[in-house]
Structure 1
Amino acid sequence: MAKRVVPEAARRRRRPTKQGQVLTHQLIVETALRMLREHGAAGLSARRLGLALGADASTVYRYFRGMDDLVRAIADELIGTAMADWRPAGDWRADLRELGLRIYHAYLAHPQAAVLTASRVTGRPNEVAGDEAILGILRGAGFADGDAVRIYHAFIDQSLAFAILDAATLALPRAAREADEEVWQATYARLPARTHPNIAATAPLLVAEMNDSAYATALDMLLSSASAQLR
Structure 2
Amino acid sequence: MTGRKRWSTEEILDAAAESLRTGDAESFSMRKLAGTLGTDSSSLYRHFRSKTELLRAVADRILLSAMDGYRPEGDWKERVTAVALRVREAFGRHPQLAAVWGRYASGGTGSRLVMEELLQALSASGLPDEEIPARYHRLVVLVAALVASEAAIGTVPPPEREQGLELFRVAVFGADPEHFPALTRFARDVLPLGADRGAAFEEILAAQLADIEATIAR
TMscore range, shorter length: 0.7 to 0.9
* 2:201 is equivalent to residue 218 of structure 1: no
Q: Is the 8 A contact 1:35 1:43 kept in 2?
A: no
Q: TM-score, normalised by structure 2?
A: 0.86
**Separation (CA, whole Å) in 2 of partners of 1:111 and 1:187:** 28
TM-score normalised per structure 1: 0.82
Q: What residue is the counterpart of 1:37 in the other structure?
A: 21
* Cα gap change, 1:27 to 1:158, in 2 (>3 Å): same
1:211 counterpart letter in structure 2: G
Aligned equivalents of 1:90, 1:215: Cα separation in 2:
20
On the 8 A contact 1:193/1:200 being kept in 2, the answer is yes
Runs of 4 or more above 6 Å deviation: none
Deviation at 1:42, TM superposition (A): 4.2
Partner of 1:113: 97
Q: Is the 8 A contact 1:75 1:118 kept in 2?
A: no
Segment drifting more, 140-149 vs 39-48:
39-48
Q: Show the 5 A alignment for 1:170-189.
A: 170-189=154-173
- Higher RCO structure (Cα 8 Å, ≥6 apart): 2
What percent identity do the matched residue pairs reach? 26
Deviation per residue, 1:57-114 (Å, 9 max, x gap): 3221121112111011112112112211111103111111111122223223222222
- Quick one: which of 135, 140, 159 aligns to 1:156? 140
Alpha carbons of structure 1 residues 117 and 206: separation in structure 2 relative to 1, 3 Å: same
Residues 53-62 or 197-206, more deviating: 53-62
Task: Name the SS of the counterpart of 2:71 in structure 1.
Answer: coil
In structure 2, which of residues 82, 106, 113 is the aligned counterpart of residue 129 of structure 1? 113
Decide whether the 8 Å contact of 2:150 with 2:194 is kept in 1. Answer: no
Q: Which one-letter code corresponds to 2:194 in the other structure?
A: N
Structure 2 runs not aligned, ≥5 long: none
Structure 1 stretch 60-69 or stretch 99-108: which is displaced more? 99-108
